[in-house]
Amino acid sequence: MPDPSPLTLSDATRGGALAAALAAVDALAELGETVEDEWTYVTALAEAGRARLRAAAGPDTALPIPGESGLAVATACAEVARITDPHRAIDWLSTFPAVVELVLADAPTTADDASRAAGDTPRTAGDAPGTAGRAPGAPGREA
Amino acid sequence: MRFQDAAKDARTVVYAGIQADPLVARLAALAAGASYPQRLMARAVMNGESTDPATWRTIFPSILGPHAPDRERAEALLAASLEVAERGEQARSQYRGAFVEELTEILVRRRVGAAAGPAVRRERRVLFDGVAAEIHPYDLTVEVPGRAEAWDCKWGARGINADVLNQLDDARRHAADEETPLRVGLVVYDVRVSCAVRLAGQTAPRQGTVVVTLEALDALAGRKPA
């Protein structure tokens, strides 16, 4: 499992968040794979999780992320590091990428957004923190 | 096609106690009105190691932060989810299962309306003429003639397996043999991607089975997901 401390990202960018999250997924997969009957599922789930994280990080991985987003990802990775039960690891392998996706959805995805978030440009009305994110987990088609 | 109460054994009696715990009803009522991000937070907390609310507020700033929309509900959902997380591993698992069932019932009742309320039942078997009865009851049924439904509820995608898919599909086919429509489905309190990965590894028939995932729970209530 990754070192759970300190609770900061060494690289406070979308790429840094991605790297930390991918390491956490690797750790969850390694633990989850010890449930032999679920090896195939865990392997496929981890790959889907990695793909989801890369998509959430977006193409411009050098973009900085706000401090609270970095702390959120680092804390989520620390929570992953606490897991020792392989069955719980499999459950987290399912949940963790969606959690990081949610965090990154609220972080800037363009240089202009990043500048605005850094205070270079005043926020527009209604552009409240935490409400600007795209909706991860868009409407499903299953139902 | 007809419906019947499931026989009670020792396990179901113990589980009935958990289903009746006010915590389950409170948690389900909160989740029923929650957004997808709030529901995801509840899943993470109920599956997490940490029971310190500050940890979860840090992980979910857009849900539990000072500027988060509907923060009061999110905080109540966090508190209830932590109550589940603080139980022992086995009890936690049972509470999570009971929660998904209760949540499903609330949402389905919203869709079918008050008049059909008595037709929404729990722990029922579906019987067909000339067909051996399945051992396991369905978690929730809607027993409205011509619009009958049978649902199984799962906390996670791992709950999807051949037995579950076969039982649901068998019920649907037997109903069709009697020229009676029966909508069958799985409600999975897990993300769509995980359910898709799980289903991809299954060979059991599933074309006629609806799978409702965490992102689309509101469809149970007849609403488009928020």
Q: To which H or E segment does residue B186 belong?
A: strand B182-188
Is A8 inside a domain boundary?
no
Is A75 inside a domain boundary?
yes
Structure confidence by residue, pLDDT tens digits, B35-59: 999 999 999 999 999 999 999 999 9
Name which of B57, B158, B168, B220 to mutate to probe chain A: the one with the most chain A Cβ atoms within 10 A of its Cβ: B158
Amino acid identity for residue A35 in this structure: V
Which domains are present in chain B?
2-6+115-221 (3.40.91.80), 10-93 (no CATH)
For the record, the structure tokens of B82 come out as: 């932590």
- Residue with more model confidence, A123 or B32: B32
- pLDDT score of A117: 60
Q: Taking residues B112-116, what's their average pLDDT?
A: 88
Structure confidence by residue, pLDDT tens digits, B148-201: 999 999 999 999 999 999 999 999 999 999 999 999 999 999 999 999 999 999
- pLDDT score of A142: 37
> Chain A window 55-94: which residues touch B at a Cβ cutoff of 8 Å?
68-69, 71-72, 75-76, 79, 82-83, 85, 88, 90-92, 94
Structure confidence by residue, pLDDT tens digits, A94-112: 999 999 999 999 876 766 6
- pLDDT score of A9: 81
Is A88 inside a domain boundary?
yes
Structure confidence by residue, pLDDT tens digits, B83-96: 999 998 889 999 99
Reported as a pLDDT band with limits 50, 70 and 90, residue B135 is: confident
The CA distance from B87 to B94, in Å, is 10
Predicted structure pTM score: 0.89
Is A65 inside a domain boundary?
yes
Which residue of A128, A130, A137 is in closest CB contact with B61? A130
Amino acid identity for residue B115 in this structure: A
- pLDDT score of A135: 41
The residue ranges of chain A whose pLDDT is under 50 are: 2-6, 120-143
φ, ψ of residue A117 in degrees (nearest 5): -65, -30
In chain A, residues with a C-beta closer than 8 Å to the C-beta of B85 are none
Amino acid identity for residue B89 in this structure: E
Q: Which of B127, B30, B137, B138 is nearest to B81 (CA)?
A: B30
Please give the tally of structural domains in chain A.
1
Q: Taking residues B206-214, what's their average pLDDT?
A: 96
